[in-house]
Amino acid sequence: MKKYIIDKEYNDVNVGFFLKDVIGYSTRNLRNSDIYLNGKKVKLKKKIKFKDTLIVSELKKGTNIVPMKMDLDIIYEDNDLLILNKPPHLIVHPTKKKVDKTLANGVVHYFIESHGLSSVPRFFNRLDMDTTGIIVVTKNAFSQALLQNKDKINIEKYYLAIVDGIVPEDEFLIERPIGRVGDSLRREELSIENGGQSAKTKINVIKRFEEKNISLLKIQLFTGRTHQIRVHLSLEGFPIIGDSLYGSEDQPVERQFLHAFQLIITNLDSKEKQIFSAPLPEDMKKFLNIN
């Protein structure tokens, strides 16, 4: 439930304009919500006045995802967001072949246990099974839609990766469209004309380990294509350590060394900035021999 007290500048506009254009609700959000003005249920065409109280109550939907107790590493939580540090070897969402022991099962159990509510876990971002780090669960349709609204919210996503080889440039951009060819799980460089999607990745070298012939990279995603970082680094000749799908499984490690370590969310109206971080996992620290 969201509550708004109407400011003077919005006196005499209608409910729909205020909620869509000012607050950022989508038509779909409002279609699945009840709206109350000063305690009475109203339609979107109803006019609002200075100091009115407007309440938007989302119609709750249950879920058929099986709850399963799981130790969640919670970085942050409020009424809208649950931000987690995902461990390796964990699928985010159930599939036809795997309906339990996923992160979604654990989140549903947490919602029931902590909030008494069996609700749909909405993942704003997805991580591969063996990628660790920050993953965002939105608790309602509005917060999910707001995070996707680039006119109101700016989101920066940063990753750490350990790659094969000594990366020569300190900083560079990779802009190579990628896509899937046939039924393969792999993504490859594929022109836009042939069905590829534009993809942009920024690379910064944090440290080069000459004796091991590896590099530690900081990566910023500007687009969110499937396997984007893994594909781009492989195409540049620096596959992620442990990534058997894209060409680097020579090292004795159990997964690809890719970690979502920082997320920055900025409200473009208020300029309020929230920074969330997840520390480097122990297996990556051990591999680099750092504390």
Render pLDDT for 204-249 as a digit per residue (tens, 0 to 9): 999 999 999 999 999 999 999 999 999 999 999 999 999 989 986 6
What's 2-58's CATH class? alpha beta
Q: What is the pLDDT of residue 62?
A: 64
Listed in sequence order, the residues at least 6 apart from 158 whose beta carbon sits closer than 8 Å to its beta carbon are 218, 219, 220, 221, 260, 261, 262, 263, 264
Q: What is the pLDDT of residue 63?
A: 74
Residue 256 CB neighbours (<10 A): 27
Read off the DSSP letter of residue 8.
G
CATH 3.30.2350.10 residue spans of the chain: 74-147, 153-288
Task: Please give the CATH topology (third level) of the domain spanning 153-288.
Answer: Pseudouridine synthase (3.30.2350)
Reported in sequence order, the residue ranges of 87-190 that DSSP labels E, i.e. its strands, are 122-123, 132-138, 153-164, 171-175, 178-180, 187-189
pLDDT higher than threshold 80 for residue 250: no
Taking the C-alpha atoms of residue 107 and residue 105, their distance in angstroms, rounded to an integer, is 6
So which residues are the catalytic ones?
128
Q: What is the pLDDT of residue 65?
A: 87
Listed in sequence order, the residues at least 6 apart from 71 whose beta carbon sits closer than 8 Å to its beta carbon are none
Q: What is the pLDDT of residue 99?
A: 78
pLDDT higher than threshold 90 for residue 22: no
CA distances from 262 to 15, 66, 100, 182, 193 (A): 37, 30, 28, 34, 34
- The architecture in CATH of the region 74-147 reads 2-Layer Sandwich (3.30)
For CA atoms 144, 149, 154, 157, the dihedral sign is positive
Task: List the structure tokens of 71.
Answer: 């130790």
| Ramachandran angles phi, psi of 21, nearest 5° | -85, -30
Find the mean pLDDT for residues 172-190: 91
Q: What is the pLDDT of residue 264?
A: 97
Kind of pairing between the strands at 74-77 and 81-86: antiparallel
pLDDT higher than threshold 80 for residue 119: no
Instruction: Specify which residues 41 forms β-bridges with.
Output: 36
Taking the C-alpha atoms of residue 59 and residue 33, their distance in angstroms, rounded to an integer, is 5
Q: Is 287 helix (H, G, I), strand (E, B) or coil?
A: helix
Listed in sequence order, the residues at least 6 apart from 210 whose beta carbon sits closer than 8 Å to its beta carbon are 166
Kind of pairing between the strands at 273-277 and 171-175: unpaired
CA distances from 237 to 141, 166, 243, 246 (A): 40, 10, 13, 10
pLDDT over 70, % of the chain: 98
Instruction: Specify which residues 138 forms β-bridges with.
Output: 81, 122
Beta carbons of 148 and 250 less than 8 angstroms apart: no
Confidence bin at 269 (pLDDT 50/70/90): confident
Q: What is the pLDDT of residue 34?
A: 87
CA distances from 202 to 29, 168, 213, 222, 232 (A): 34, 14, 21, 8, 10
Compute the mean pLDDT over every residue in the chain, rounded to the nearest whole number. 91
Closest CA to 229 of 237, 239, 215: 239
Listed in sequence order, the residues at least 6 apart from 273 whose beta carbon sits closer than 8 Å to its beta carbon are 264, 265, 266, 267
Find the mean pLDDT for residues 1-19: 91
pLDDT digits (tens, 9 = 90+) for 120-173: 788 999 899 999 999 999 988 888 888 988 888 999 999 999 999 999 999 999
Find the mean pLDDT for residues 30-57: 90
